[in-house]
Amino acid sequence: MRLVLIIFTLFIAACDLFPQSRLDRVKDEGVLKVLTRNSATTYYEGPHGPAGLEYDLVAEFAEYLGVKLKLETPETLAQVLHKIQAGEADIAAAGLTVTDERKALFNFGTSYQRITPQLVYRVGTRPPKNLDALHGSLEVVAYSSHAERLRSLQEDHPELSFQKTNELDSEELLNLVWEQVIDYTVADSNEVAISRRFYPELRVAFDISSPEPLAWAFPPGEDRSLVDKADEFLNRLKENGQLDRLLKRYYAYVSEFDYVGTRRYMKHIDQRLPLYQAWFEQAGKDTGVDWRLLAAIGYQESHWNPKAVSPTGVRGLMMLTRATMQQIGIDKDRHDAQASIEGGARYITTVKKRIPARIKEPDRTWMALAAYNIGYGHLEDARILAENDGAAPDKWIDVKKYLPLLSQKKWYQQTRYGYARGREPVRYVENVRSYYDILVWITDKERTPNRRTPALTVDSPAL
């Protein structure tokens, strides 16, 4: 008995001398606890479930570790930083810029993206040429890298003044600039690129620094076991191209901003969409397709004009051929807006059912849209070209590279269905995605203007 007590005492002492690493604890508990923010660049509830660059990365990392992912979205950036510093979570994946002040407070992993902080103003406000030419109020998020950067810039610009808010996030400040409540804010270039689709009058005056790295933050201390594992994971994504595909998935289609087109679209949302919204909603209920996606398709096709006619003979609000209408069982005038919307909903549903079941969302939807535009056969030709070239035929970000090749003789001679104007479906899908995003943003804002997402525990999906 005495020997047993001695062994037990030595075991306890050994545990104190060699405490369990954070990585081992995560694996033993089977849960990766992650702090993030609700935003278009980090994490949000999309039409197909949780989405966002940070979400996809940490979900894949949790799967890499063989554990479940538990997300928490604190109300403010300050709370995110406080909780990770206190060790109340394993990772803060919240679009955090690596700064000197923060490196003294947390452990950071390898960078996965670079952004540029930009001074943003609205059309109608005098555009400043530099920080000494600001004429109005400048407000940024408290405890943000932007506040830290502006404090350092005050040494060279003593007249520079700004306000800090702990109540609003960066997207909300961009909204205040757009509404002309404040004159300026500072936002990261990726946030600006996405937000300008929703607030088309926003403009970038200038960059306030050179590009800066984003990285995950970890609790402070000498235990870097989880940091090292995360670095191993992210380096693997960089090497196999998955990280690049993710970045393109979230940002490539918003890179070409069309101010005039976006303003026209938002005007038509107010003036034209109400005439047809009930029919879009009914078609969505009948087919299980988000009515806002149907509306986005309709806008891309005709700008919601039921009398539209193309040189190729397609016509109506959803621009369908007579053969397509007959194929899906609708025997009405294609200029009948309700019939056209119903026909478009049935057709996109039919096309989507032909997409191989193994292709997951949202790639499944983007490929269905491409097939809606160019035809299913041509989509399959592009997927085969991608596969033969060693790319991923089930990923839209790869397939979109091969569709344009269908207009080149060298490539379309290798295919079953031959020549096609392959650049058109790529532009088509990107336009529909933008129209859809804007419509989702508007309708969600009307329904829940201050929506916050609670903690979420999920089984981690693959990219």
| Residues forming the active site | 301
The conformation of residue 97, written as its DSSP 8-state character, comes to B
239-242: long-range pairs with CB below 8 Å, 24+: 242/60, 242/463
Q: Which residue is associated with the tokens 């989405």?
A: 51
End-to-end CA distance of the chain: 54
Nearest Cα to 75, choosing from 450, 445, 457, 448? 450
Q: Which residues of 108-137 are buried (b: 16+ CB within 10 A; e: fewer)?
A: bbbebbebebbbbbbeebeebeebeebeee
Please, which residues have CB within 8 angstroms of residue 74's CB and are 6 or more apart in sequence?
35, 37, 80, 83
User: By three-state DSSP, how is residue 240 classified?
Assistant: helix
CA-to-CA separations, 287 to 302, 354, 433, in angstroms, rounded: 21, 15, 19
Contact 271, 406 (CB under 8 A): no
Q: Cα-Cα-Cα-Cα dihedral of 357, 361, 364, 369, to 10°?
A: 150
Which H or E run contains 457? strand 456-458
Query: DSSP assignment of 399-414, as one string?
Result: HHHHGGGGGSHHHHTT
